[in-house]
Structure 1
Amino acid sequence: MKKYLTVILSTSLSLMGCSSLDRVESNMNQANLISNFSVHKKQIQQGDISIEFYVQGKGPVIVLLPSLSRGARDFDVVADYLAKSGFKVIRPEPRGINGSTGTLANLTLHNFAADVALVLDAEKTGPVVVVGHAWGSQPARMLAADRPDLVRGIVMAAASAGKLPKDSTEKPYGRLRDAIDNAGNYKLPQEQRITYLKQAFFAPMNDPHVWLNGWYEKNHAAEAHARIVTPIDEYFSGGKTVPILDLQGEYDAVVVKNVMKEYLPERVVEQVIKNAGHAMVPEQPEAMANAIAKFSKQVYSAN
């Protein structure tokens, strides 16, 4: 683990808040992980766009895309489990976070998907399994639509579909919108932010304090704009053929569940992660990683 920390923590965690290092180390110790793989930080540039990404492990590739306004470091523990399970894990930082740079004005989900494609092309991965946590499922599905040569399977982890059950009158992406958009607002009192984190992200038995840090305001605005301006039918189905795992949190208060299965019954399988809410990644990293690994092994063995 010391080798892991030396490779990347000293250069990236300073942007996440002074308590982030302690939080990551605590999560690692709690998970009792002893990784055999170093984490390598890389950079790829095309024009005025530069994307930072992390690579660890060996084997079939799994790509991890984070939630709205959050970075790739959220997946530290999940990525370690996956690497230990025999996968090469790639984690691009979304544009606007840490070393990933480029304009944040007037972006669509096509732009965010293209940033991921830039990384995968550089790594010469071929088609891979792409995991999108919450908002991350949107560029994951967009990538499958825009670059089907790069995607062989999708995991939607605690992710809203973007459509609703056919008899629903709700607004897509509308549940607990205020809590979602303000949980990472550093201008608000901490007590209010904790209330929002409890409402929108964390199961009742889990501690929301671990997500007080690690939010990126400018990135939030760009990602939210991309979701709003990109027509849902351009990415909803994640292309036309790839299998999709709809990985649901038992206590997720944000996601309208079972929508993907209703619209794409032949392509979608569902699984529930116990004692997890919309945050999922910090709540149940081992269970999440196990579900991703099982699905990925099935996908790779079938192709």
Structure 2
Amino acid sequence: MEQRIVARGPARIGYLAAGRGPAVLLLASLGRGAEDFAEVAPLVAAAGFRVLCPDPRGIGRSVGPMAGLTLYDLAEDAAAVLDAEATGPAVVAGHAFGNWVARALSAARPDLVRSVVLLAASISQALDPAVRASIDGSFDPRLGEAERLAHLQRGYFAPGHDARVWLSGWHPSVAQMQRAATAATDERWRRVAERHPTHYVAAAADTIAPVPTRDALREALGGPVGLTVIAEAGHALLPEQPAATAGALVRFAIEQS
């Protein structure tokens, strides 16, 4: 994949790019970066798409102010990548926390969005306290490896899958920035299906975002939403089932291209 960088005011946003064709923008999970799409992105590109994977501020070559932000600022960082590539409206896919940035992009720059895919996405901010503790513990460097692995397994991976693949790649300061940005943002970003065609890709063994009903999706997202359920995957999804995830993305992107 090509490594590129684009300036947006005082920020610089690094991103990976591959392929040719209609654009698919991939947005990573809380405190994690574009490397999470290392297996998924080439499969989507090989299907005939221009795949773009930006790093959030604070990861890789992406830098910029980390305080006083909202989800719309993070969405505009992603928009800068689409503007630089001059791709036209893109299929925007957000994994886990990235789904909130995808929805904010739909609200802030609807001209750049063709449709939206939510991958193992929390459609509300309500979480079981035990699950929240596992999210926090997964990237707490003060914890020992065995304890972090237990949190990763409980929160992110389906039974029988090796959670060690996610021991690295966590950026606590980025997660802190993203949480603060979410808390500072109004509510209009949430109802993405009122603005763009939307598809939800669920992980069957997800403890953070259990498989929703279509009625729950309609109520939370503001309109009819397609649903694909991927077996033998937890909230991490991407390293567990890259081919199935890419296949779901490609099928929806073809429908929307």
Instruction: Write out per-residue CA displacement over residues 25-64 of structure 1, whole angstroms, 9 at most, x where no aligned residue.
Output: xxxxxxxxxxxxxx11111113311000111001111000
TM-score, normalising length: structure 1: 0.80
User: 3-state DSSP class of the match of 1:139?
Assistant: helix
Matched, 1:219 2:171: no
User: 3-state DSSP class of the match of 1:63?
Assistant: strand
Instruction: Write out per-residue CA displacement over residues 85-121 of structure 1, whole angstroms, 9 at most, x where no aligned residue.
Output: 1111000111110100001112110110010011111
Matched, 1:135 2:100: no
Count of residues paired in the alignment: 253
2:11 aligns with 49
Among 261, 283, 288, which residue is 2:245 paired with?
A: 288
Contact 1:247 1:271 in 2 (8 A): yes
Residue 267 of structure 1 deviates from its aligned partner by 3.1
Contact 1:184 1:193 in 2 (8 A): yes
For residues 263 and 133 of structure 1, the distance between their equivalents in structure 2, rounded to whole angstroms, comes to: 17
Instruction: Write out per-residue CA displacement over residues 128-183 of structure 1, whole angstroms, 9 at most, x where no aligned residue.
Output: 100100000001000000100001111100000126xxxxxxxx245611111220
Contact 1:65 1:136 in 2 (8 A): yes
User: 3-state DSSP class of the match of 2:237?
Assistant: coil
1:279 aligns with 236
Among 159, 162, 185, which residue is 1:204 paired with?
A: 159
**Unpaired runs of 5+ in structure 2?**
none
Residues 173 and 144 of structure 1: is their aligned pair in 2 closer, same or farther, counting only changes over 3 Å?
farther
1:267 aligns with 224
Residue 241 of structure 1 deviates from its aligned partner by 2.7
Matched, 1:236 2:190: yes
2:23 aligns with 61
For residues 154 and 289 of structure 1, the distance between their equivalents in structure 2, rounded to whole angstroms, comes to: 14
2:206 aligns with 252
Matched, 1:190 2:190: no
Residue 266 of structure 1 deviates from its aligned partner by 4.3
Residues 80 and 119 of structure 1: is their aligned pair in 2 closer, same or farther, counting only changes over 3 Å?
same
User: 3-state DSSP class of the match of 2:80?
Assistant: helix
Contact 1:201 1:279 in 2 (8 A): yes
For residues 174 and 128 of structure 2, the distance between their equivalents in structure 1, rounded to whole angstroms, comes to: 20
Identity %: 39
Which structure has the bigger radius of gyration?
1
Contact 1:152 1:299 in 2 (8 A): yes
> Within 5 A, what are the aligned runs for 1:28-177?
39-162=1-124, 172-174=126-128, 176-177=131-132
User: 3-state DSSP class of the match of 2:88?
Assistant: coil
Q: Aligned letter for 1:100? A: S
**Unpaired runs of 5+ in structure 1?**
1-38, 164-171
Q: Aligned letter for 1:162? A: S
Q: Aligned letter for 1:288? A: T
Contact 2:190 2:220 in 1 (8 A): no
TM-score, normalising length: structure 2: 0.94
Contact 1:145 1:239 in 2 (8 A): no
For residues 6 and 183 of structure 2, the distance between their equivalents in structure 1, rounded to whole angstroms, comes to: 28
- RMSD of Structure 2 on Structure 1 (CA): 1.4
Instruction: Write out per-residue CA displacement over residues 229-265 of structure 1, whole angstroms, 9 at most, x where no aligned residue.
Output: 223x221112633111111000000114233234457
